[in-house]
Amino acid sequence: MAAASVDSADAQFPEIVIGLVAPYGTPLTYFTTTLSGMLKAKCDYGTELLRLSDYTKLFSGLAEANPSSGVSEAARVAALMTRGDQARELAKSADVLALCAIKDIHDRRSQQDAILPK
């Protein structure tokens, strides 16, 4: 039996996708925590945080290694930014990591046992 897919026109629950971009050092954690709390309290919306840097793990052959858990925050961020640059170069596409996130969202919605957004 083929997996059921969800057509956005037939979605049973409202959904919001918000993309945040900020320079290094911007306290996004405070903002995302506050926004998640307000969306839950006021609208009963759940939230899920996707980080574009996580999608660099999908690319083999990047010269920069994925940062290990013991490195400093500055080294971790520098490695992730370099990996993002290398992934964009390899794909010859400035938006390749955003496209990976879009595909991930689509795949999650398309699973037969998917929990639809609320």
Q: 55-70 pLDDT, tens per residue?
A: 999 999 999 999 999 9
> Which pLDDT belongs to residue 25?
81
Q: Which residues contact 92 (CB under 8 A, 6 or more apart)?
A: none
> Which pLDDT belongs to residue 27?
87
Cα 17 to the center of its chain, rounded Å: 10
Burial class (CB in 10 A: 0-12, 13-18, 19+), 83: buried
Q: Which residues contact 16 (CB under 8 A, 6 or more apart)?
A: 39, 45
CB neighbours (10 Å) of residue 102?
13
Mean pLDDT confidence for 81-103: 96
Cα angle, residue 30 at apex, residues 76 and 23 outer, rounded to 5° = 50
> Which pLDDT belongs to residue 24?
81
CA distance 117 to 42: 16
> Which pLDDT belongs to residue 1?
43
pLDDT (tens digit per residue) in 3-57? 455 455 555 566 788 989 888 888 899 999 999 999 999 988 889 899 999 999 9
Q: Which residues contact 85 (CB under 8 A, 6 or more apart)?
A: none
